[in-house]
Chains A and B, each alone.
Chain A
Amino acid sequence: MEYLSLFVKGIFVENMIFAYFLGMCSYLAVSKTVKTAVGLGFAVIFVLGITVPINYLLENFVLKEGALTWLSPEYATVDLSFLSFIMFIAVIASMVQLVEMIVEKFAPALYGALGIFLPLIAVNCSILGGALFMQERQYPSIGEATVFGLGSGVGWLLAIVAIAAIREKIRYSNIPAPLKGLGITFILTGLMGMAFMAFMGIEI
C-alpha cells in the first residue's frame, strides 16, 4: 500500500513537469508528435527506473556519512557526499549509453525518430532530478526508491504525451502569430499544471 501511494504521488502530486519543471527541454523539443513523445517517455521511465535504485545503493553504501562502515568500522566518519553529483551523473550517462545501444539494435525506426534526443536524456534534468530528490528525501529502502523513480517516469510520460496530443490538434487553430509554437506550449503547460494542482495534498 505504501508503494502504491508513493507511485501515485510520483505521477500526479509530485509530477516532474508540472510541479518541479524537470525535463522541460526535451519536453518542449520532442512533443511535436505523439509517436515520438511516447518513445521518449518510455525511455525516460526505463532510465529513471534503473538509475534511481543504482544511485540509491551508491548513496547508501559509498557516499553518505558513515556509509562505508561495511568495509571497516574505522571509516565511520568518512563523508563523501560532496562527490555525489559527479557519481550520479556518471551512472546516468553510462545507463543512457546502454539504452541508446538497445534502442538502436531493437527499434531502429524509433532510434531514427528520436535522433539527437536520446543521448540528451543524459542531460535531461528529470533523471538527475530523480536521483537528487531520492538523496534529499532519504527513502528508507531500495524498493521505495525504485517505485519513486518509476512513478516519476510515468508522470513524465503522461505529461509529454498529453502536451503532444494537444500540440497535434492545435496546429489547426488560429493562434496569434507571435504566440505560435513555443509560446502557446508554455501557456498550455501552465494551464495543465493548474489542473494538476487539484491533486495537491492527496494522501492514499
Chain B
Amino acid sequence: MSTETITAVEPKRESLFSKKNRKLLTDPLDDSNPITVQVLGICSALAITVQVQQAVIMSLAVLFVMIGGNVIVSMMRNIIPDRIRIIVQLVVIASLVIIVDEVLKAFSPDISEKLSVFVGLIITNCIIMGRLEAFALGNKPGPAMLDAVGNAMGYAWILLAVALVREVFGSGAISFPGVGQVKFLPESWFMANGGFYENNNLMILPPMALITVGIIIWIQRSRNRSLIEEN
C-alpha cells in the first residue's frame, strides 16, 4: 500500500500539467492501481461487474464523487479539525452520493434498481476515503483533482476488464443501452440449437468475480515484477 504525502513546499508557479502532476494521473493506472495494488474499493468492483453497462455507470458515479470529494476536502483542508476529519469527510462524500442516487433514480430508474444498495455503498468505498486521507488532506485542489481522476480511471479500467470477461463468457453477448444485446457467436453454434457452445453460467455468479480479479492481479504482477509481495 502506498501512502504519499507531498509536502506543501513546492515552487510557487507550477503548471497543472507538470511532470509530477502527470504522474498523479498515470500512476494509479498501473503502479499504484487502487484495486490491484492499494487494495481499496474491492466491494463494489466485484459486485456490479456482471454487466458492462452497470460497470460503466458505476465508474462514472465514482469518478464524479471522487473529483467532488477530493476537491472539496482539499479546499477545506486547513479548516478541518484533525479529530473529526473522518466525520467531515463522510458527510462530504454522503452528500455527493445522495446527488448521484437521486439523479440515477430520476433518469434511469431501471439501472438504479439493478445497482440497488451499491450506489449507497459508494460512501464506504475505501478508494474515496483512502484518497481523501492520503492525498486531499495534504495537497492543493489542482493536484487533488488530478489524483481523483487518475484513481477513478485506475478503478474504472479494472471494473471494465472484469465486467467484459464476465459478460462475454457468462452471457455470450454485451448489452448496450438503446441497442440491445450484441451477440458474438451465431445462434446455431449454441447447444440449444444443436451446436457445440454453451455459455458459462458460473461467470455470472459471485465467486468468478473474485477469481477474475485474482487472475488480473497475476497477469499484472508478472509483467511488473516490482509489485510482487514477500509472502
Contacts and interface: CB of A to CB of B under 8 A. Distances in A.
Contacts of B101: 82, 85
Contacts, number: 150
A124 B124 contact: yes
Contacts of B117: 129, 132-133, 136
Interface residues of A, number: 49
Chain B contact residues: helix, strand, loop or mixed: helix
A28 B121 contact: no
B39 A176 contact: no
B39 A128 contact: no
A189 to B, nearest CB: 5
A16 B164 CA distance: 24
B79 to A, nearest CB: 20
Contacts of B211: 186-187, 190-191
Nearest to A86: B94
A20 interface: yes
B47 A176 contact: no
Chain B interface size band reads 35 or more
Given A93-B86, A136-B116, A180-B228, A194 B207 contact: yes
A122 B207 CA distance: 26
Contacts of B76: none
B125 A125 contact: yes
A82 B98 contact: yes
Nearest to B207: A193
Interface of A: 18-25, 28-29, 82-86, 89-90, 93, 119-120, 122-125, 127-129, 132-133, 136, 171, 176-187, 189-191, 193-194, 197
Interface of B: 36, 39-44, 46-47, 86-87, 90-91, 94-95, 97-98, 101-102, 116-117, 120-121, 123-126, 129, 205-211, 213-215, 217-222, 225, 227-231
19 contacts: A22-B121, A25-B43, A29-B39, A85-B120, A90-B90, A93-B87, A119-B86, A123-B123, A125-B43, A128-B123, A171-B231, A177-B228, A178-B222, A182-B217, A183-B214, A186-B210, A189-B207, A190-B207, A197-B207
